[in-house]
Amino acid sequence: MEDVSAKFVSQKISRTRWRPLPAAALQPPDLFATGSWDNEDNRISIWSAGDLGNAGLNGEYHGEPHLLCDIQHNGDVMDMQFLDQERIVVASSTGAVTIFRHHQNNQTLSANHRWEKAHYHVDQDTSCGGAACTGVVCNNPEIVTVGEDGRINLFRADQKDAVRTIDNADSSTLHAVTFLRTTEILTVNSIGQLKIWDFRQQRNEPSQIFSLAGDRVPLHCVDRHPNQQHIVATGGQDGMLSIWDIRQGTMPVSLLNAHEAEMWEVHFHPSDPDHLFTCSEDGSLWHWDTSTNVSEKPSFLHQGGRSTAYLSHSTINQSVVSAWLSNDPTKDRMEITNLIPNQTLSVNSLDVLGPCLVYGTDAEAIYVNRQLFA
């Protein structure tokens, strides 16, 4: 863990996100954004991951992250995501959804557009109205938000009003949302359900409902396999990681015992989906690696993307397809590493891109690991 640089930032971090790389970029990501929560004065900040100019001979980077610019944000930052290279969509506990623009020439942030009461209780005009917006996902120019009010909003970055709103989509709190395909989204809620919504349908009903059997453990996060869209991972209140195959059944394919407390985020590695990362309230961050389980399969690491050449071979193809689904925990074919040995306070957020990992904690620190697969 020598490659991890830490910085104490005097605010509890609720979200960290790498700025997406332009297509065909070869460099590792260098900029990330953070959002804070539970402060009197919450902020969105843009950080430089460390000075590239200081790269040592063997490719190590030195220097801690340093602040480029920040801006005040009304309410806790509940979720955020980059819309493109310059714009960040931020969900607030006040129910507002804001697009911030990062001006790279003079390193400033400004509010670009705001939907003031995207999420609200009862009546949009009453004073008690705002309901926390808990999740946001973008697929430029579309933005989907979900909230404690059980509402789903579909916005377009360039339009003032919501394109589509599903009131009372869920009777409990929606905790997270992600895109399944361009017109379909996945949501998870506080009674252990995973729902698929299709915006092409005019009906305000989910097209499919999946649920955990038994205890209705709330689900807090969801991510979809980047290449195999039917594989979905969710994390729950009991720290359990569930893998779902949305082509079949209504229950998860596998339930993997993981953290001791709420799993706040789960992310497949965008270009190496054999790797999965989860973080939790118990202060741990786990790296799940299924790439080591098939010994004959060559490693895809450090190739900057999925390698289609390997997939042409049918037997290997088979093993790749089933890497997550066929996974049987008893066979011990998955390698799991806890990346934070002595942490005590919650790790609220993580993001992976290329060989880099960034995460933020309630201990008011952000950490950057630039050599994830070293």
Partner 1 sequence: MDELDTEPPLVVVPGADPSARQLCFAWGPAEVLVCETLFGRAGQGGRCCRALTGSIAGTGEGAPSSSRVFVVRRDQDIYIQTLRKLFNESHGIFMGLQRSEEELAGKSRKAQLVQVSKNYRSVIRACMEDMHQAAVSTRDPALQGQYSTQVSILSAMELIWNLCEILFVEAAAAGPLLLRLLDWVRLHVCDVDSMVREVLSSESPSKHKLFWNVVDVFVLQGRMDEARHLLSKEASANPTSMNMYKILDDLMKKMPVPSLGNTQTLTELELKWQHWHEECQRYLQDGTFASNPHMESICKILLGDEEAILEKKELMTTWYHFLVTRLLYSHPTVKPLELRFYAQSSMDLFLGGESSPEPLDLILMAAFEFEMHQVIKECSIVLSNWWFVAHLTDLLDHCKLLQSHNLYFGSNMREFLLLEYASGLFSHHSLWQLGVDYFDHCPEYGRVYLELHIERIPLSTEQKALKVLRICEQRQMHEQVRSICKIMAMKALRNNRLGSALSWSIRAKDAAFATLISDRFLKDYCERGCFSDLDLIDNLGPSMLLSDRLTFLGKYREFHRLYGEKRFPEAARLLLTLMTAHIAPCSFWMTLLTDALPLLEQKEVIFSAEQTYELMRCLEDLTAGNPDKQKFQDDDVETTKVEMLRLALARNLARVIVKEGTVEGS
Per CB under 8 A, contacts with partner 1 among 328-347 are: 342, 344-346
Residue 52 has φ and ψ, to the nearest 5°, of -65, -30
- Residue span binding partner 1 (CB under 8 A) among the ranges 34-42, 225-233, 303-311, 317-325: 34-42
One residue of 20, 30, 39, 251 binding partner 1 per CB under 8 A:
39
Q: What six digits make up the tokens of 210?
A: 């999946």
Q: Please, which residue, 191 or 294, has the CB nearer to partner 1?
A: 191
Q: Please, which residue, 237 or 290, has the CB nearer to partner 1?
A: 237
Q: Could you tell me which residues are beta bridge partners of residue 153?
A: 145, 165
Shortest Å, Cβ 123 to partner 1:
9
Shortest Å, Cβ 358 to partner 1:
18
Per CB under 8 A, contacts with partner 1 among 146-175 are: 148-150, 168, 170-173
Contact at 8 Å (CB) between 99 and 65?
no
Q: Using CA atoms, how far apart are residues 93 and 37, in angstroms rounded to an integer?
A: 9
Q: Please, which residue, 177 or 356, has the CB nearer to partner 1?
A: 177
Shortest Å, Cβ 343 to partner 1:
8
Q: For the window 87-116, what string marks contact with partner 1 as x by the rule CB under 8 A? A: ------x-----------------------
Q: Could you tell me which residues are beta bridge partners of residue 27?
A: none
190-197 own/partner pairs: CB under 8 Å, 24+ apart: 190/218, 190/219, 191/216, 191/218, 192/216, 192/217, 192/218, 192/219, 192/236, 193/219, 194/219, 194/222, 194/232, 194/234, 194/244, 195/170, 196/246, 197/152, 197/166, 197/169
- Residue span binding partner 1 (CB under 8 A) among the ranges 10-18, 25-33, 105-113, 244-252: 10-18
Q: Please, which residue, 44 or 78, has the CB nearer to partner 1?
A: 78
Per CB under 8 A, contacts with partner 1 among 43-82 are: 76, 78
Residue 262 has φ and ψ, to the nearest 5°, of -45, 130
Q: Which of 215, 250, 208, 247 is nearest to 231 (CA)?
A: 247
**Between the CA of residue 160 and those of 114, 122, 154, what are the distances in Å?**
9, 22, 11
One residue of 362, 367, 369, 372 binding partner 1 per CB under 8 A:
362
216 binds partner 1 (CB under 8 A): yes
114 CA to centre of own chain: 22
Shortest Å, Cβ 291 to partner 1:
32
209 binds partner 1 (CB under 8 A): yes
Shortest Å, Cβ 262 to partner 1:
6
* Residue 321 DSSP symbol: H
Shortest Å, Cβ 4 to partner 1:
14
Q: Please, which residue, 25 or 122, has the CB nearer to partner 1?
A: 122
289 binds partner 1 (CB under 8 A): no
Q: Please, which residue, 85 or 344, has the CB nearer to partner 1?
A: 344
Beta-sheet pairing, 231-236 with 42-48: unpaired
Q: Could you tell me which residues are beta bridge partners of residue 335?
A: 289
SS3 of 214-272: CCCCCEEEEEECCCCCCEEEEEECCCCEEEEECCCCCCCCEEECCCCCCEEEEEECCCC
Q: Please, which residue, 19 or 195, has the CB nearer to partner 1?
A: 195
Task: Provide CB contacts within 8 A for 202, sequence distance 6+.
Answer: none
12 binds partner 1 (CB under 8 A): yes
Task: Using CB under 8 A, list all residues that contact partner 1.
Answer: 8, 10-12, 37-40, 76, 78, 93, 121-122, 128, 131-132, 134, 148-150, 168, 170-173, 190-193, 209, 211, 214-216, 218, 237, 261-262, 281, 342, 344-346, 362-365
